[in-house]
Amino acid sequence: MLNLRQYQEEAIIALRMVLRGGIKRPVLFSPTGSGKTEMAMALIHGAVSKGKRVVFLCNRINLVNQASKRFYRSGINHGIIQGANTRGEYKDVVIASIQTIAKRAMPDTDLIIVDECHGCAGSKSFRQVIFDNKDKPIIGLTATPWAKGMARLYPELNGPLFEDMVIATTIPQLIKDKFLVDVEIYAPESPDMTGVKLSKNAFGEMDWSDSDIGKAVDKPALIGGIVEHWLKLSKDLPTVCFASNINHSKHIVEQFRAAGVAAEHIDCYTKDTERIEILKRIESGETIVISNVGILTEGWDFPACRTMILARPTKSLIRYIQMIGRVLRPHDSKEVALVLDHSGTVQRLGFPTDDLPMELDDGKAKEGKGEKKEVEPPVCSVCKFVKPRNTPVCPKCGAVHRPKEVENLPGELKKLEKKEKITMEDKQIWWGSLLGLASEKGKSRSWALAQYKQKFGVWPRGLLENEIQPTSEIRSWVKSRQIAWANSQKSMTVRSVA
C-alpha cells in the first residue's frame, strides 16, 4: 500500500471531485520531487479496484522504464506498449509510449493518465490521442503547467485541450515541509546574446535557437569560468551541468577533466548500455560532474546531486524549472542546493521559489504582458553579495552604502537573494479563510470570490475548496473593506443631498 502525504491525499480527492463534476480532462500540478507518480499510482489502484482499465502514457522511453520499476515496487501488475519492448498489453494497467501508440492504436481503456502533459499542446500525436478519446477521463501530470495552448479550444473536442487544474502543492510549501531543499544561487554577468535567434520551442515558448546559442557561450573564457567558480564554490560535490548544445557540453567536460575533475558527457546519441553505466558512476561518486543538454531534464532522480551548473541561457520558464528541479530533492548529504548560473537566466526568470503562473494557457495573446524587463540585481560594493533591492545595509557584511555605490564586477559569481512574494500557499490560506468566513456569516461562495478578487485581482483558479478558520489578519482586512465601502456610501449620500 502507498503511504501518501496529506497534500497528495487532498489532491487525489480534489481530482475525483473535479471528474465527478463533469470535467473530463483535468491537469494535476505538483512540483518535481513532490510525488506525482505516487499520486498517479494511488489513482490507478482506485480505478483497478473498481474494475477499470488504465493506460499511463509517457513521452520518453526512459520514462516508460522508470514508471515500470515504480509500478512493480508498488505492487501494480502491468503491461508495456513500447516498440519491441511491448508485452502484457492485455493487462488492466498498461504503461505506453506515445511514439508507439501513435503508430499503432490506443488499447481499450477507461482512464488515461498522461505523464509530463505540458508536452501535449505542442505534439500532434498527443493531441490526436486526446481527440480520439475525448469521451474518456484523461488526467495530465506536470510540474510545469504553463505551456502555451494547454487550454486551447479545439473543434474536435468542442472545448479546451485540458479543462481545469488541481494544484497539489508548491515549491515553497515543499521546502517549508522539508520535502525539498532550499536553493542558493550565484550568478555572473549574462553572456552577450546579441544576434542569437529566437524560435518557438516544443512548449510554445519563445527561446533562443539551439543551433545558434552555442556561438554565444561556447567560448574558452566562459567555459574556464565555469570550472573556476565550481572549484571555488562546489568542489567535489555531485553536480549536473546543463549546456547549450552537445559540443558545448563536451567542451565543458574537457575543461573539468583538464582540472583533474572526474566528469562525463551524456546525450541522446549515447547508447542505452553506456548511459546506464554513466549514471551509475555519477550515483556511486566515481564521477563528480555529469554534463548534458536536455536529456536529464525529465525522469532523472538523483537526490544526492548537490549542485547545478546552468550554462545554457534560456527564456523558457518550463526548461528552467525542470533543470533546477534536478537538485531540489532532499538527501542526508545536503541541507541546501546550489545553482551556479552562468547564463543570466535567474535575472530573467527569477528564483524557482517565486510564485509561478498557475493558469492553463488558452493560446491567446495576452494584452499588456510584454517580455519581463531584465534588471541586474544590486551588488554590495564591499563583499559583492547580491542583496535585496532597496536595502541600504548589506545582510552579509553589514556595509552601509547608498544605491549609487552599488556596482557589478564582471566574471565574479555573486549570491542572489530571493524577494519575498505572495505564494500559492498564502493564496490557499486566504481562499480557505474566506470560504470559512462566508459560512460563518451566512454568505455565499460568490461573496468569498468577490473578496478574493478584490485582494489579488484574479479568481482563485486551481485552489482547493477547503474551508478553514479565518485568521485575524484576514478578518481585519475584510472588516476594513466593509468600513471603506460604508464610508464611500456615506460620501455618495452627502454629495447627493448637496
CA nearest 242: which of 160, 334, 311?
Answer: 311
Contact 80, 90 (CB under 8 A): no
Q: Angle at CA 30, nearest 5°, toward 237 and 91?
A: 105
pLDDT at position 189, please?
60
CA nearest 254: which of 245, 263, 246, 244?
Answer: 263
pLDDT at position 383, please?
40
Give how far the C-alpha of residue 464 lies from the chain's centroid of Cα atoms, to the nearest Å.
19
pLDDT at position 235, please?
93
pLDDT at position 463, please?
79
pLDDT at position 331, please?
95
pLDDT at position 35, please?
92
Lowest mean pLDDT among 94-98, 258-262, 410-414, 448-452: 410-414
Handedness of CA 302, 308, 313, 314 (dihedral sign): positive
Task: Categorize the per-residue pLDDT at 257 as very low, low, confident or very high, splitting at 50, 70 and 90.
Answer: very high
pLDDT at position 224, please?
76
pLDDT at position 390, please?
55
- Side-chain-facing half-sphere of 153: CA atoms under 13 Å: 4
Say yes or no to pLDDT of 46 above 70. yes
pLDDT in tens, 290-335: 999 989 988 788 999 999 999 998 988 999 999 999 999 999 999 9
Give the integer Cα–Cα distance in Å for 329 and 175: 10
Contact 172, 353 (CB under 8 A): yes
Say yes or no to pLDDT of 102 above 50. yes
Lowest mean pLDDT among 2-6, 74-78, 198-202, 277-281: 198-202
Give the integer Cα–Cα distance in Å for 52 and 46: 9
Q: Which amino acid is at 164?
A: D
Contacts 24+ apart (CB under 8 A), 482-490: none
pLDDT at position 414, please?
65
What residue ranges define each of the domains in the chain, with the CATH number in brackets?
6-170 (3.40.50.300), 176-355 (3.40.50.300), 424-497 (no CATH)
Helix (H) or strand (E) holding 211: helix 210-217
pLDDT in tens, 453-478: 788 777 777 778 888 888 888 888 88
Contact 96, 81 (CB under 8 A): yes
pLDDT at position 418, please?
64
Alpha-helix residue ranges (DSSP H) falling in 140-209: 171-176
Q: What is the DSSP letter of 497?
A: H
pLDDT at position 60, please?
86
Helix (H) or strand (E) holding 139: strand 138-142
Task: Categorize the per-residue pLDDT at 236 as very low, low, confident or very high, splitting at 50, 70 and 90.
Answer: very high
Give the integer Cα–Cα distance in Å for 298 and 98: 16
CA nearest 78: which of 44, 104, 112, 108?
Answer: 44
Average of pLDDT values for 492-496? 44
Mean pLDDT of the chain: 84
Say yes or no to pLDDT of 159 above 80. yes
pLDDT at position 488, please?
57
pLDDT in tens, 437-449: 888 888 888 788 8
CB atoms inside a 10 Å sphere around CB 436:
18
Q: What is the pTM of this model?
A: 0.73
Task: Categorize the per-residue pLDDT at 96 as very low, low, confident or very high, splitting at 50, 70 and 90.
Answer: very high
Lowest mean pLDDT among 101-105, 240-244, 448-452: 448-452
Task: Categorize the per-residue pLDDT at 164 as very low, low, confident or very high, splitting at 50, 70 and 90.
Answer: very high
pLDDT in tens, 349-408: 888 888 788 789 888 876 544 344 444 445 445 444 454 555 666 555 566 644 333 233
Say yes or no to pLDDT of 185 above 50. yes
Q: Please state the φ and ψ torsions of residue 334, each to the nearest 5 degrees.
A: -145, 145
